[in-house]
Amino acid sequence: MIVQVLGRNPDCDLVLDSPMVSRRHAELSREGETFLLRDLASANGTFLDGVRIQEARLTSGQEVYVGPCRLVFDGQLLRETEEGRRIGVEAVDVVWTPPGSKQAILDRVSLSVRPGEFVALVGPSGAGKSTLLSCLLGLRRPTAGQVLYNGLDSTLATDLFRSLLGYVPQDDIVHRDLEVEEALHFSARMRLPADTDQREIQRRVDFVLATMGLGHRRQNRIGTLSGGERKRVSVGVELLTEPGVLFMDEPTSGLDPGMEKKTMQLLARLARGGRTVILITHATQNILLCDQVAFLAPGGRLAFFGPPRQALEFFGVEDFADIYLALETAEAGVQWRERFQATVRSQAPERPTAHSRPIGNPGSGPGRRFLASCRQLGVLLERYARLLKADRQNLALLLGQAPVIGAILALLFEPDLFGLRQEFSGRGLFPIQDGQTLLFLLMMSCLMFGVINSCREVVKELPIFRRERLVNLQIVPYLLSKVLLLGFLGLLQSAILLGTVLLRIPLALDDLGLLQAFLFLFAACLGGVLLGLILSSLTASAEQSMSLVSVVLILQLVFSGAFIRAENMPEPLNTLSLLAVSRWCFGGLASLARLNERLQELGLPFAGVDFAISPGSIFGILLPVLALHFVLAAVALRWREARS
């Protein structure tokens, strides 16, 4: 017998009004004296004592998380606790040492942030503020010690708290070519449960715009906003899911004093609304707005943690800037930490110490992950299409390459390259020999289109990718959205290039042959897209990626077999050439044009073994090669994520 249905739908027995709760999230049923809690295929899961469950027995006093809502079973029903949706964060003797190093960046840092507190992490450059924030957020696992969320070990509770933590890095986490409202809409569709309809999404977006004071900017392109307004958009993206904790890395950096004060006042209001706010800042003019301040000294030592005014008394100064001077050296940091710890030990403990509890390793079924991937792919495709369309100048430039290069190639060669009558030209060559050159240039042009189209597409939005990965972004849908849309762009470029050349130079192919030739050119372009995405994933900047494009194109040129036959290449180059898209696309075009047969008819040497393979067989080789390139792009992106 169903006793209680939990969800955000108004007809549920326990209505949990949160965007991270599904309409019908979970249900409590009774079988005799046994109470069973069952998850109803919710988007963000149901957790019993920190363990994600599909179905589990309940006993009195057990704690349940449904989205951000903290519930307790009283023996008959589930009820929301007094703490409700608030989250406290505690660091317990946190140490972090870089791999392979003996020098700790953080040295036994302990602090406890109560739910709804506004906390600033401050200190000299190199004191470990960013490292501490990344440990508190879960981006880095402490070498020693623990980080706890509501008493649960953060390293084990990742799945539970992933959707409940907001993070605004220094870099913008929104696309500058989108309008403010557009960006919020796409973020909401990516982050909110699949059963959230458009009206609910619009309500969330309107609420966030009003909260951040951006209602009058909703139709403005983000790139046209001021630095402070862009930062508010980034904060707004995080507020869409109503996170219990908001982490921010220097949100006031680069802002004028007036905008800095407005930003700090806004964050203080968010904290007063029950949301825990933890930020890094170098600015101390408005630090009195914070509830607590943590001063870190060089060497990652906590020199003080407490109310801002007490910090002035503790260090015996009148200005927060003087505290920086007091913490300039590592030796001073050791002394101030010892003094602070002695002060803490001499006082009665004011803050309850949380204890970690064991947590299972949650997971979701392959069917649910597949549906989530499909949903993400749809949103990513729509967003990327908007971004490509928004940059009309670049889009026109990319599409304009094909007719220009096609016209040059058409004028460069005589029209009868593939004709039945072959006579020596003034250069002592048969036209069919120039035909081989034309096919190679067509293939290389398409491959170049693909590489240029994609070589910046990942690296230019790495901050956005990293942030969305922390929430729920999957690598395969992300890459697939790039491949599909850039592939469609390459499809147009290949068609325009081939069509322009055909206006003057017939390839002597029937309709099926022309279609196959087009598919080989498109495959070359698609291979170029994948190579560009690999480059973009491996490099740290768009400039680095662009500088390596020439290396990739030269390697494809060498491995194509146009200058040195693949079978004549020494090892391991011969084996490596098997993975070259250029080799198989050029071989396919030459096979369609029957180059080997035409050259032999003229008494010329055999052009290459690849040209003797049937087009169908070459397609059979080419498809796995392209699939391998996609896998390599995914591996490269995963490597870049791990590095950062």
φ, ψ for residue 7, nearest 5 deg: 170, 180
DSSP state of 489: H
What 8-state DSSP symbol labels residue 295? E
Quick one: average pLDDT of 203-216? 95
What is the predicted pLDDT for the residue at 123? 92
Residue 400: its pLDDT value, please?
Answer: 94
Helix (H/G/I), strand (E/B), else coil: 608: coil
Q: Is the pLDDT of residue 86 over 70?
A: yes
Confidence of residue 129 (pLDDT cuts 50, 70, 90): very high
- Identify the pLDDT of residue 361: 44
Coil/strand/helix, residue 292: strand
Angle at CA of residue 235, ends 234 and 236, nearest 5°: 90
Q: Which residues contact 487 (CB under 8 A, 6 or more apart)?
A: 522, 525, 526, 529
Q: What is the largest CA-CA distance in the chain?
A: 102
Angle of helix 581-592 relative to helix 542-559, nearest 10 degrees? 50
Task: Using DSSP, state whether 507 is helix, strand or coil.
Answer: coil
- Contact (CB, 8 A) for 269 and 277: no
Check pLDDT > 60 for residue 31.
yes
- Grade residue 364 by pLDDT with cuts at 50, 70 and 90: low
Task: Give the Cα separation of 47 and 50 in Å (integer).
Answer: 5
Annotate 319-342 with DSSP letters as a single string. SHHHHHHHTSSHHHHHHHHHHHHH
Q: pLDDT tens digit string along 380-437?
A: 999 999 999 999 999 999 999 999 999 999 998 888 877 556 565 656 566 667 788 8
* Closest residue by Cα to residue 380 from 273, 466, 481, 305: 481
If you search the block for the tokens 């791990």, which residue do you land on? 642
Average pLDDT, the chain: 90
Cα within 13 Å of Cα(37), Cβ side: 29
Answer whether 535's CB lies under 8 Å from 548's CB: yes
What pTM did the predictor assign? 0.88
Across 294-298, 307-311, 549-553, 568-572, least confident range: 568-572
600 falls in which pLDDT band (50, 70, 90)?
low
Q: Report which residue type is found at 63.
A: E
pLDDT band at 612 (very low <50, low <70, confident <90, very high): confident
In DSSP terms, 165 is beta-bridged to 245
* Tokens linked to 104: 């700790």
Integer angstrom CA distances of residue 97 from 121, 154, 286, 608: 19, 18, 32, 57
**Residue 365, pLDDT above cutoff 70:** no
Give alpha helix (H) positions in 455-594. Answer: 462-471, 475-502, 511-538, 542-559, 573-577, 581-592
Q: What is the mean pLDDT of residues 70-97?
A: 91
Stretch (H or E) spanning 399: helix 392-412
Taking the CA atoms of the chain, what radius of gyration do you get in angstroms?
Answer: 31
Q: Is the pLDDT of residue 180 over 60?
A: yes
Q: How far is CA 341 from the centre of its chain?
A: 40
On the question of pLDDT at 351 being above 80, the answer is no
Determine the length of the chain.
644
Q: What is the pLDDT of residue 357?
A: 47
Rounded percentage of the chain residues whose pLDDT exceeds 90: 71
2-80 and 89-346 have identical folds: no
**What DSSP letter does each residue of 126-173 carry, written as one string?**
TSSHHHHHHHHHTSS--SEEEEEETTEETTT-HHHHGGGEEEE-SS--
pLDDT in tens, 143-162: 999 999 998 898 888 888 88
Q: Which one-letter amino acid corresponds to residue 210?
A: A
In sequence order, the 6+-apart residues with CB closer than 8 A to the CB of 225 are: 180, 217, 233
Measured from the Cβ of residue 44, the count of other Cβ atoms closer than 10 Å reads 27
Residue 603 confidence class, pLDDT cut points 50, 70, 90: low
pLDDT reported for residue 362 = 44
Rounded Cα–Cα distance for residues 527 and 629 (Å): 7
CATH 3.40.50.300 corresponds to the domain 89-346: yes
Element housing 293 (H / E): strand 292-297
**Position 91: which residue type?**
A
At residue 296, φ and ψ (nearest 5 deg) are: -100, 140
> pLDDT by residue (tens digit) across 275-299?
999 999 987 888 999 999 999 999 9
Give the residue extent of every domain in the chain.
Answer: 2-80, 89-346, 366-418+432-643
Q: Over 357-381, what HEC string results?
A: CCCCCCCCCHHHHHHHHHHHHHHHH
- Angle, alpha carbons 239-240-244 (nearest 5°): 50
Q: Report the C-alpha gap between 72 and 64 in whole angstroms.
A: 6
- The whole-number pLDDT of residue 156 equals 80
179 pairs with which residues across the strands?
221
Q: What is the mean pLDDT of residues 323-331?
A: 89
Residue among 593, 589, 436 nearest 522 (CA): 589
pLDDT score for 356:
44
Tell me what the mean pLDDT of segment 226-238 comes to: 93
pLDDT confidence of 607, banded at 50, 70, 90? low
- Residue 422: the pLDDT is 59
Could you give the residue ranges of the DSSP H alpha helices within 241-358?
Answer: 257-272, 308-315, 320-326, 330-346
What integer is the mean pLDDT of 453-463?
Answer: 95
CATH number of the domain located at residue range(s) 2-80 in this protein: 2.60.200.20
Inter-residue contact 284 to 309 (CB < 8 Å)? no
Mean pLDDT along residues 534-538: 97
Checking if the pLDDT of 261 tops 50, the result is yes
